[in-house]
Each structure stands twice: as C-alpha cells, then as structure tokens.
Amino acid sequence: MKIGVVSERTPAVVDSCHPPICSSCGRLVEPYARAVRFNCPNCGKSTIWRCEKCRKLALHYKCPSCGFEGP
Ligand SMILES: [Zn+2]
Ligand SMILES: [Zn+2]
C-alpha cells in the first residue's frame, strides 16, 4: 500500500458543531469547503484556517497567538 504525499497543509476535516473561522477573511469556513488548516509556522500554537477563496487570492493570515502574518 502506498502512502500519499504528506503535505503540511492537510485537507480540512470540518467539525460541523464548531465551524472554524478563516484566519484571513474572518468568515466561517463552510463545511466541506476546500479550506486548509495548518499550525502557525512561527509559534505552532494556533491552528490557522484558510478558506478556498483566501487561498486562491493568497490573502494574508494572522496568528491569534503570536501575531505572525504570512501568505
Ligand atoms: Zn477566507
Ligand atoms: Zn503564531
């Protein structure tokens, strides 16, 4: 059995009870949307969410823990 390529930005599995908020635009990330979730590359404490729209537009995000901003 082959294991697929492991990406830092793994596809999102959205918890419908607690919908995540996109760290770039501040809107709720729709369940089953092609959003990505990854830990802050600076502090690693916070989980950053980005919706599909913000990924396409390459909008900046901001870490709520350390204030790190990144593309
Ligand atoms: Zn967004
Ligand atoms: Zn951070």
Per-residue pLDDT of the chain (71 residues; tens, 9 = 90+): 666 555 556 555 655 567 789 999 999 988 777 889 999 999 999 999 999 999 999 999 999 899 999 88
Asked if residue 8 is part of any domain, the answer here is no
Q: Is residue 37 in some structural domain?
A: yes
Q: Could you tell me if residue 3 is inside a domain?
A: no
Give the model's pLDDT for residue 13.
Answer: 60
Closest listed ligand to the CA of 20:
1
Q: Is 48 contained in some domain?
A: yes
For the chain, what is the domain count?
Answer: 1
Range of the domain at 66: 14-71
Q: Which ligand is nearest to the CA of 69?
A: 2
In a domain, 4, yes or no: no
| Alpha carbon of residue 15 to chain centroid | 13
**Cβ-Cβ contacts under 8 Å for 70 (sequence gap 6 or more):** 41, 42, 60, 61
Q: Name the residues around ion ligand 1, CB cutoff 5 A.
A: 22, 24-25, 51, 54
Looking at residue 20, what is its pLDDT? 86
